[in-house]
A = this chain, B = another copy of it.
Amino acid sequence: MRSWLALPGLANAAAKHFYNSLVASRFYAPDAREEGELVALPTDEAQHLIRVLRLSTGASVRVFNGRGDEFVATVEKTTKDEACVLVGTRRHAAREANVAVTLAQAVLKGDKMDDVVRDAVMMGVAAIQPVITTRTEVSLATLERARKRERWERIAIASTKQCGRAVVPRILEPVTFDALAPTLAPLTLRATVLMFAEPGVSRDVLPLGALDLKPSPEATIIIGPEGGWTPEEVQAGLQACRVVTLGGRTLRADVMAVVALSALFTTWKEF
């Protein structure tokens, strides 16, 4: 439990050291594969190492390759913008969830979607599928123009660094709900597929606790925008997969993913 990105001005030096040792010195090094390699860090990571943490040759760090491997490493060379590390012994990263969960999240307004990406990565999702629904206020073209997918990928890497995972979840190409919906019924053959809706949206919607959910290797959870699903979208969901609610209260759209992931990971004994 600690703050994200900014170094908290901790009450004592020991805590600060603990924080640095655990969080600040992990770097994303996608080229790291095995001990003994000399690998260059991506530009963002090199700048974090050189300019923010002011580390130099000989510093001991950790690197993870985003595919589950984590290593001790030593800074071997730094220039103004580049950093190379010597990959050392392999070490354990935070355990990945047994169920590979894809979060299909309706794109939220402003920087709310950034927060959802950050939190979903921390919670342990395997992938995030941005979705444009009827009541989403941006278009696929706007997301493309604003290079939102690249932005979310950077946020996913930053959150992976913070939470101790060695796997960077994939940010999938945004799709419309109309394009996603026909893929859901086939997906249910191998994955748990759940669409989360507000209480009272339809009589056919069940509370999550009413389902007998066994862990499956894969799961997809689908979460709507601030304005909720349209009745047509709920109908499409009911025909393709299970539509569920979480309690009788109206939950904020930007917190729903964390609530749903916590509920599912509890149900599947991941916690």
Using CB atoms and an 8 Å cutoff, list the residues of chain A in contact with chain B: 1-4, 8-12, 15, 18-19, 22-23, 94-95, 97, 109, 112, 119, 122-124, 134-137, 162-165, 196-199, 207-209, 223-228, 230, 246-256, 258-260, 262-263, 265-267, 269-271
- B1 contacts A226, C-beta separation under 8 Å: yes
Contacts known (A250-B164, A252-B1); A227 close to B19, Cβ less than 8 A = yes
Instruction: Tell whether, in the assembled complex, residue B263 and residue A266 are in contact, meaning their CB atoms are under 8 Å apart.
Output: yes
Contact among B228, B253, B254, B263 with A271 in the assembled complex (CB-CB below 8 Å): B263
A254 — which chain B residues lie within 8 A by C-beta? 3
> Contact at B4–A252, with CB atoms within 8 Å?
yes
- Cβ contact within 8 Å between B11 and A227: yes
Q: List 21 A-B contacts (CB under 8 A).
A: A1-B224, A1-B256, A2-B253, A3-B109, A3-B226, A8-B227, A22-B250, A94-B199, A94-B250, A123-B249, A124-B247, A163-B249, A165-B249, A209-B269, A209-B270, A246-B262, A247-B265, A255-B258, A258-B262, A260-B262, A262-B263
Given A258-B262, A259-B123, A262-B262: A95 and B11 interface contact (C-beta under 8 Å):
no
* B248 near A9: Cβ-Cβ < 8 Å: no
What chain B residues lie within 8 Å of A198 (beta carbons)?
Answer: 1-2
